[in-house]
Amino acid sequence: MVILFGSVIIFNFLAFKLVKRFSGNMILHIWIFTCFFQVFFDIFIDLKYHGYWFVTPGIDWSAFPGYTLLIPPVNLLFLNWFPFKASLVKRIAYIAVWEVVLLGYEYITLIPEPWGFFHYGWWSMWHSALVNPLLLLILLGYYKLVCMLEAKVKHKPINGQII
Q: What is the per-residue pLDDT across 65-98, written as a single tens digit (0 to 9) for each?
A: 888 999 999 999 999 999 999 999 999 999 999 9
117: DSSP letter:
-
Q: How far apart are CA 66 and CA 86, in angstroms?
A: 32
Q: How far apart are CA 55 and CA 62, in angstroms?
A: 7
Q: Please tell me the total number of residues recorded for the chain in this structure.
A: 163
Q: What is the pLDDT averaged over residues 55-74? A: 86
Q: How far apart are CA 142 and CA 32, in angstroms?
A: 11
Mean pLDDT of the chain: 90
Record the pTM: 0.89
Q: Residue 120 is inside which H or E element, if any?
A: strand 118-120
Q: What is the pLDDT averaged over residues 30-56? A: 89
Select from 143, 132, 162 the least CA-distant residue to 21.
Answer: 143
58: DSSP letter:
S
